[in-house]
Chains A and B, each alone.
Chain A
Amino acid sequence: MSIIYDALKEVMDQAGVASPPALTEDTVIVGKDAVLDSLGVVSLIVEVEQALDAKHNVAVTLASDKAMSAKNSPFRTVGVLADHVLQTIAETGAAA
C-alpha cells in the first residue's frame, strides 16, 4: 500500500496536482473527481510496476487488456488498485 501512496504522490507531484488533503484507500484515481488524468494513470501504473520490481523483485503487468476491460476498473481507487496489485501478483505467481 505504501508503494501506491508513494507512487501516487510522485505522479501528482510531477503533474503539478496539488495533493488532496490526505490520500486514503478511497481516493479516486479514475473517473469522476479523479486526481489524475489518463496519462497520470498510465504514469502511476508504471511507477507502481517499477517500484514492485525494484523493492520486491516482482515483475507484473498491471494494465493488461483484461484489467482495462473489466466491468469495474481495477484502477478506481487506491484501495481497489492495491487489491488488483495483490491479485495480479498471485495470478502470475511472481511473488518473491
Chain B
Amino acid sequence: MSRAWLFERLAQWGDAAAVVWADKALSYAELLRRVDDWKATLARERLGPGAVLVIEANFSPNACALLLACLDLGLVAVPVVPAMRAHKDEFAAIAEAQATVALDEQDQASWQHHPRPVTNGLTQKLRSRGHAGLVIFSSGSSGKPKAVLHDFELLLGKFEKARAKKTVLTFLLFDHIGGIDTLLNTLTSGGTVVTTPSRDADVVCGLIAKHQVHTLPTSPTFLNLLLISQAWQRADLSSLQVIAYGTEPMPESTLKRLGEALPHVKLVQTYGMSELGVLRSKPKGDGSLWMKFSHEGFETKVVDGVLWVKAATAMLGYLNAPDLFDADGWLNTQDAVEVDGEHLRILGRVTDLINVGGQKVYPAEVEAVLLECPNVRDVAVYGEKSPLTGAFVAARVNLLESEALDVFKRRLRAFCKDKLAPYKVPVRIELTDEQQFGARMKKLRKVSPA
C-alpha cells in the first residue's frame, strides 16, 4: 500500500508537536489517536472507501486528523473553508458527496448526510484504483468554480522523501492546494504546523514570534500588507528563515522592500496550481523573480510564451468541466512566462492580459511600478474595453493619505513616464477606500467599477 509509509512516519515523531491550534500544541501521538477516533466515527457513519466527504473547516487538530483518516481509509475528501459556506451545497452536489462534516470554532463536529450515488466517471476511476481522493475547488478565470479531482496518494508520493523539520505557519487555507501541500510537507518531515485564526499582519507576526516559526508560505498581497502595516517591526521575527510566496505574480518592488525589511529571511517563490499540486523550484538567486523548476516528477515546456506542465501528480481531471490535458498529457497552465536559459519568470495569467491595440500588458507589471509611487498603498490594474484600441489599462488605487484625484493622476502619470511604455500607463485612474483582495489574500482585479 502506497500510503502505509505515511502513518509509520507520523508514529515515529511521537511526542513532538504536530499541530498548534488556539495556542495549544497537539503531539503526533495525539494526532494519530484522533485519526483512529475519526476512522471509528467514519465507520459508524457508514462512510467507507470511495465515499465522498465534504469537510467544512479551517486548519485545526480535527481537520488535520480527519483528512488523514480519509486518506488512510480511501475516502474522497472535499475540504471547504467556512468562508465559502454559501457554496457548500453546490460543492457537495458537484463532488457527489454522501456527507458533510462541519467543524465549528471549538473544533466540534456536526454531521449532515446526503443520500446520493457517485456517478462521475473520474471518481469511479479513482475508486477502482482503491485510492483516496482530494477535491479542490478552483475559482477559475471565468468565475465558475471548477472541481479538481486528485488521486490523493499520487499527491502524497512527493513527500515520501523526508525534508528538514520546520515549524510552518499555515497561512494558505485548508481548501487550497498550497495549504494541503504545506500540511503534508510539514507533517511528513516531523515539523510543526502553526494554525492562525486570522490573516491579519499583526496576528501572523505575533504567532511567528511566539511559536518560533521558521517558514511562512504566503501571497505577495499579504507581504505588501505586512510591509505597509509595519507589523514586522512590532514582533520578533528572528526565527523566520523562509518566506515562500506564490499564488500570484510578485511585484519586484514588494520583493525589494521585503528583502530590505527582513534581510535574514530567504525569499522563495513557489509555483502551484489546483490542477497540478505545488511544483518544486529554486530561485536563481536570493530575491530573484527568476526560478528553475526541479523537474522532480514533472516536466515543463514553453509554447508561445505560455508554460505547459506534464506532472505525475496532476489531477485526474475536472468533475464539472472539460479536460485541460492535450493528447500527450500536457496541461496548459495559462501562465505567461519569460525564459532565460533554464530559468523562468512568471508574467501573469494569460486571461488577465490586457491587449492595447495589439500590444500586451500584464497587470502585475504595471502594479509593480504603481506600488513604487509615493502615497500608493495598494493597486489593482485591469483592462477596460474600448472600441478604439480594444482595451486600455485602468487602475484602482488605495492611497495612504488622502489626495485630490486630479493632483494624484498628474503625479502618478509623471511618475510612470520613464518607467512604463505609454500604452502601459493607466488611462483611467480611480481612487478607492475598499480593500482590493479577498479572503485568500489574492488580488481581485475582475471587479469592474460600478
Contact = CB atoms under 8 A, between A and B. Distances in A.
B427 interface: yes
Interface stretch (A19-27, A34-42, A78-86): A34-42
Interface in B366-396: 386-389, 392
Majority SS at the chain A contact face: helix
Interface in A50-96: 50, 54, 63-65, 67-68
A51 B360 CA distance: 28
Given A39-B427, A42-B427, A15 B422 contact: yes
Majority SS at the chain B contact face: mixed
Contacts of A42: 386, 388-389, 392, 427
A19 to B, nearest CB: 16
A41 B389 CA distance: 10
Contact of B356 (A39, A45, A46): A39
A10 B406 CA distance: 10
Interface residues of B, number: 15
Contacts of A46: 392, 427-428
B387 A68 contact: yes
Contact of A38 (B389, B405, B410): B389
Interface string B395-424: 000000000010000100100000000110
A68 B357 CA distance: 15
A2 interface: no
B413 A63 contact: no
A38 B357 CA distance: 9
A39 B389 contact: yes
Interface residues of A, number: 17
B387 A43 contact: no
Contacts of B356: 39
Contacts of B410: 10
B389 A64 contact: no
B428 A50 contact: yes
Contact of B388 (A10, A15, A63): A63
Contacts, number: 36
Nearest to A16: B417
Given A38-B357, A39-B356, A54-B405, A68 B388 contact: yes
Nearest to A64: B387
A63 B387 CA distance: 7
A46 B23 CA distance: 53
Given A14-B413, A15-B422, A41 B388 contact: yes
A38 B423 CA distance: 10
B423 A39 contact: yes
Contact of A63 (B386, B405, B423, B425): B386
A39 B405 contact: no
A13 B165 CA distance: 59
Contacts of B387: 63-65, 67-68
Interface string B111-127: 00000000000000000
Nearest to B357: A38
* A15, A42, A64, A67 interface centre (most CB from chain B within 10 Å): A42
Nearest to B425: A14
Nearest to A50: B428
A41 B422 CA distance: 13
A41 B357 CA distance: 13
Contacts of B413: 14
* B357, B388, B389, B392 interface centre (most CB from chain A within 10 Å): B388
Interface of B: 356-357, 386-389, 392, 405, 410, 413, 422-423, 425, 427-428
30 contacts: A10-B410, A14-B413, A15-B422, A38-B357, A38-B388, A39-B356, A39-B357, A39-B389, A39-B392, A39-B422, A39-B423, A39-B427, A41-B388, A42-B388, A42-B389, A42-B392, A42-B427, A43-B392, A43-B427, A45-B388, A46-B427, A46-B428, A50-B428, A54-B405, A63-B386, A63-B387, A63-B388, A64-B387, A65-B387, A67-B387
Given A39-B389, A39-B392, A54-B405, 10 more contacts: A15-B422, A39-B356, A39-B357, A39-B423, A39-B427, A42-B386, A46-B427, A50-B428, A63-B388, A67-B387
Please name the 6 residue pairs, one residue from A and one from B, whose CB atoms are nearest each other, closest first: A68-B387, A43-B427, A46-B428, A42-B392, A65-B387, A46-B427
Interface of A: 10, 14-15, 38-39, 41-43, 45-46, 50, 54, 63-65, 67-68
